[in-house]
Structure 1
Amino acid sequence: MNNLTRLLAVASLAALAAGTAEARELRLASGAPPAHPATDPMYNSFMEFLPEETDGELTGLMIGPEVVGIVAVKQALQSSLAEVGNVLPLFAAGDLPNTVLTADLAFLATTPHAMGAAVTEYVVTCEECQAEFKAMGGVFVGAGSSDIYVLLTTKPVQSLADLQGLRLRSGGTPYARWAEALGAAPAQVPVSDTFESMSQGVLDGTMASVSDLISYRLVDVAKYIIDVPLGTYHTTSNFTVASGTWAELTPELRADFARAANRSSALFTQSWGYDRAAAARQAALDAGIEIIQPDQDLLDATNEFRFSDVADAVTVAESQLGVTGAADKIARFQALVEKWTGITDAANGDVDAIAAAVQTEVWDKVDWSTYGL
C-alpha cells in the first residue's frame, strides 16, 4: 500500500469514527400499546424519519409501555429515563394550564387534521404555553388529533332519554360537561382501564375514539357505537423533548428533529383520525356491534351544548386552570381552527401537503437558536 493510499484509508476511518461518535440515540416513549396509532405509525415512523432528516446524527430507541406508560411519560422525561415522549397535557394540567385550554374546547372540532395543526400553531406561538413547558422541563414539538369521538356502549342509546344515568368514561372536562348537561354520569377512568370497567359493568360505556375498539380491545366488550358527535381529542404533545436533551442539540439538529416530528404527527392524525377509525368500524361490524344513528333530540341537545360550552370553557379556564385572559385566548384558538380547516380542506386528504403546510406556516418561522430554551 503506497503512502497516498494509506493516508486515504486512515482519513476514511477517521471520518467514519467521527460520524459514529456524533450519532446520538434518543430514548423514546410513546406511552401507548403497539396497536395504538401513537406507537404505530407515529413513533415507528419517527424512528425512520429522524435519521433521514438529521443525516444519521440522531436515531431513536423505543421504550415500551410496560416500562413507561402514558400517565408516566412526563415523569420519565423529568427523570431522564426517556428523552422524547408523548405527553398528554390533560395528565399534566397543573403544569400546562394554557395548553390544556385547547383541550377544553373539544367540541369546536371540525376535522382531525385541522385540529392537530391548530393546536400546533397555538402552542408554538403562545408565550405562556412555552413558559409552562419550560418550567415542566420539556419542549413542545407538535400535536395531533383523534377522529370525532362517539359513544361506545354496552347498552343501546337512541334518544336523549336513553342517555339518562348512563355511566360513561370521560377523557376530559368537556366530555364530562357534555355528559352532565345531557343527564349521563361521567367517570374519570384511565383509558387503559376502560375494558375492565366495561366488562365488569362498572361503566356502561365510554366517550372515545372509535379506534379504541382496536387499540384497547373494546371490540370484545362494547355492543353499540352511538354516532353522536363529541368533538376530537386534539391536545397532545406528540414529541416532548426533555429540556436537557434539547439544549444539547444544535439549532440545525433541532430544526431537523422538528421536520421529522412534523411528518410523523401528520401520519399519526391520518391514522387516528381517519384510517384507524374506518378499520375499527369494519371490525365492529364483523364483531356484530350495532351502529346506532341517534334520534334528533339527542343530536339537537349535543349541538346546543356545543354552542353554549365556549362560555363554560372560559369559566373553567379562569377559575379552575388559573388562565388569565381566557376569552381572548379561546377566540384566538377559534380563529386558528377556522384557518386550518380551510387549509386542510383544500389539501383534500393529501397528508404530505398537510405536513408541508404546517412546516411552512409554523415550523419554518421558528428561531431554533432560542425555541424551547
Structure 2
Amino acid sequence: MKKNRLFALGMAAAVAVMSMTGCGSKNSQTKETETPAGQGDSTAAAPSGSKEKITLRIGSGHSESNPWITALEDYFVKNVTERVSAETNYEIDWVKSYGGSVISLGNELQGVQDGLVDIGCTILVFEASRLPLQDMVYSMPFSCSDPLIVAETVKQMYAEYPEFTSTYETDYNQKFIGIGVSDPYGFYSTKEVKSLDDVKGMKIGAAGINLSWIEGSGAVGVQTSLNDTYQNLQTNVCQATIQPTHSCVNLKVYEVAPYYLDANFNVVPFNAITVNMDTWNDLPEEVRTILTEVGEGYLDYEANYINEIHEQDLKELEAKGCTIVTLSREEQEKWAASLPDIVNGLVKSLDSAGYNGAEIVEKYYQILESHGVERIRDWNIGN
C-alpha cells in the first residue's frame, strides 16, 4: 500500500512539472549557448527566441587612457555589441585585455597572428619593419597635424591602394577592419623650447621611428614608449619627449615636464584593428558584416573625438600651469631642413618592399595639398 501511494505521488509531481513547463512563454528565460570564437557555424541560426553567445578576445598594448582605445571601447565594441544583439541571433561576450596584459606593445601584430587575441588594436609605430607601407607617414614629419584632414587623406589612400589592407591577410593571418589616427604629437620638456637651437644636447625620448624627427638637431634620441614616459622624464633618462598630446595629459606628464611645444610634427595613421583569420573564417557571416561596417566607421568617430579633445587638452595644460609655445613656420622649416633626406629614404625602402614608393608618397602629399596643406619642405621625391 505504501509503495502504491509513493508511486501515485510521484506521478502527480511529474504531471505538475510537465504542466508548468508547458505554460506560456511570458516567464520563460532566453536560452544562451556559448560558442567560443573559432567554433561558430556561419550557416546555422540559433533557435527562435534564443541567443547564441560568441566569445571574442580583444586587446592592445595601450590602455584605455589613450584616445584610440577609448574610441575602440566607446564606438567599436559598443556598436558591435548592440548591432549583433539587435540584428542577429547571437550575442558577443567580450574578454578585454588592454594595457599589454596579453599582447604587449610591439607584439600586437604577432599576437593577433598567433591567436593570442581574436581582435587586436596594433600600434603601428612599433611595426615599421613588418608594415613599412602602413607606417610610412612616420617618415614624413611636418606633413599635417589636423586629425580630420589626415583621416580623410588616409581614407583616400586606402581606397586607392588596396595593398594598405591586403598585407595583413596575405602575410600576417589577420583581416583588416579599421584604422585610426593619432592626436597631434607634442613636445613635452623640462625646459622651455622655442626653436631648433634650444634642443641641442638634450636627451629626447620617442617611440620607434619617431626618433628620426630629431636627427640632425643635435639632440640625443632615447628609445621610449608612452608607458615609460613619465618615469623617464622624472628620473632624467630624458629631458623631453615627443608623444601624442592627449595620452601625456592623461599620464600627467606636465607634472615632470611643464613645457609644451606645438611643433606641427604630425598626425599619423596610428592604430589598426584586425581580426585573426581563423577566428574570422569561423564567425557567422552576419557577424562578419557587422564587424566590417563598424570597423569602417571607426576612423570618422575616432578622428572627430581626437579633434575635440585636443583643444580641451591645451586648455587643461594651461590650467595645470604648463607653458605652451607654438613653433613658428620659419622654425618648422628650419627643423625640417635639418633632417636627413628621410622621405626619399622612405621611398627607397618602399621600393625594396615591392611598392611604388615615389608614387604612393607623392600621392599622400598631393591629397594633403588638395585640403589646403602646404609642404613644409620640398623633399624632391624620387630624386
TM interval, shorter chain, is: 0.7 to 0.9
**Aligned with 2:109 (options 69, 74, 79):** 74
TM-score by length of 2: 0.75
Q: Is the 8 A contact 1:31 1:85 kept in 2?
A: no
Q: Is the 8 A contact 1:124 1:140 kept in 2?
A: no
Q: Distance in 1 between matches of 2:30 and 2:211?
A: 60
1:249 has 2:283 as partner: yes
Q: Is the 8 A contact 1:151 1:226 kept in 2?
A: yes
Larger relative helix fraction: 1
- Which letter does structure 2 place at the counterpart of 1:132? T
Find the counterpart in structure 1 of residue 295 from structure 2: 261
* Alpha-carbon distance change, 305 to 255 in structure 1, aligned in 2, over 3 angstroms: farther
Q: Distance in 1 between matches of 2:81 and 2:162?
A: 30
* Alpha-carbon distance change, 104 to 16 in structure 1, aligned in 2, over 3 angstroms: same
1:334 has 2:365 as partner: yes
Unaligned runs of 5+ in 2: 1-18, 34-45, 373-383
The alpha-carbon deviation at position 200 of structure 1 amounts to: 0.8
* Alpha-carbon distance change, 262 to 155 in structure 1, aligned in 2, over 3 angstroms: same
Q: Distance in 2 between matches of 1:210 and 1:184?
A: 21
The alpha-carbon deviation at position 313 of structure 1 amounts to: 2.8
- Which letter does structure 2 place at the counterpart of 1:215? N
- CA deviations over 1:170-207 (Å, ceiling 9, x no partner): 2343x433311333222221221111111111111111
Q: Distance in 1 between matches of 2:30 and 2:325?
A: 66
The alpha-carbon deviation at position 304 of structure 1 amounts to: 4.3
**Aligned with 1:317 (options 320, 330, 350):** 350
Q: Distance in 2 between matches of 1:64 and 1:293?
A: 33
Higher gyration radius (CA): 2
Find the counterpart in structure 1 of residue 8 from structure 2: none
Find the counterpart in structure 2 of residue 140 from structure 1: 176
Find the counterpart in structure 2 of residue 44 from structure 1: 74
Alignment of 1:119-130 (within 5 A): 119-123=154-158, 125-130=160-165
Q: Is the 8 A contact 1:95 1:136 kept in 2?
A: no
**Aligned with 2:314 (options 270, 281, 285):** 281
**Aligned with 1:190 (options 225, 248, 254):** 225
Alignment of 1:219-238 (within 5 A): 219-237=254-272
Q: Distance in 2 between matches of 1:218 and 1:234?
A: 23
Q: Distance in 2 between matches of 1:96 and 1:199?
A: 33
Find the counterpart in structure 2 of residue 169 from structure 1: 205
Q: Distance in 2 between matches of 1:129 and 1:296?
A: 32
Q: Distance in 2 between matches of 1:15 and 1:200?
A: 56
Q: Distance in 2 between matches of 1:194 and 1:110?
A: 22
Find the counterpart in structure 2 of residue 65 from structure 1: 99
Q: Is the 8 A contact 1:223 1:289 kept in 2?
A: yes
* Alpha-carbon distance change, 301 to 58 in structure 1, aligned in 2, over 3 angstroms: farther
- CA deviations over 1:123-147 (Å, ceiling 9, x no partner): 4653444443121121211212123
**Aligned with 2:65 (options 15, 35, 44):** 35
**Aligned with 2:134 (options 76, 99, 108):** 99
- Which letter does structure 1 place at the counterpart of 2:154? V
Q: Distance in 2 between matches of 1:183 and 1:223?
A: 22
Q: Distance in 2 between matches of 1:323 and 1:197?
A: 38
The alpha-carbon deviation at position 66 of structure 1 amounts to: 5.0
Q: Distance in 2 between matches of 1:338 and 1:243?
A: 37
The alpha-carbon deviation at position 64 of structure 1 amounts to: 3.2
Unaligned runs of 5+ in 1: 343-373
The alpha-carbon deviation at position 51 of structure 1 amounts to: 2.5
Find the counterpart in structure 1 of residue 12 from structure 2: none
Tell me how many residue pairs correspond in the alignment.
Answer: 333
Q: Is the 8 A contact 1:113 1:145 kept in 2?
A: no
- CA deviations over 1:26-80 (Å, ceiling 9, x no partner): 1111332232112223223322100333325352332232513333322332332
Percent of aligned pairs with the same amino acid = 20
The alpha-carbon deviation at position 245 of structure 1 amounts to: 1.3
* Alpha-carbon distance change, 213 to 128 in structure 1, aligned in 2, over 3 angstroms: closer
Larger relative strand fraction: 2
Query: Secondary structure at 1:244's aligned position in 2?
Result: helix
TM-score by length of 1: 0.77
Q: Alignment RMSD, CA only?
A: 3.3
Q: Distance in 2 between matches of 1:244 and 1:124?
A: 25
1:151 has 2:187 as partner: yes
- Which letter does structure 2 place at the counterpart of 1:333? Y
- Which letter does structure 1 place at the counterpart of 2:57? R
The alpha-carbon deviation at position 120 of structure 1 amounts to: 4.3
Query: Secondary structure at 1:261's aligned position in 2?
Result: helix
Q: Distance in 2 between matches of 1:228 and 1:204?
A: 17
- Which letter does structure 1 place at the counterpart of 2:266? G
The alpha-carbon deviation at position 87 of structure 1 amounts to: 0.7
- Which letter does structure 2 place at the counterpart of 1:300? E
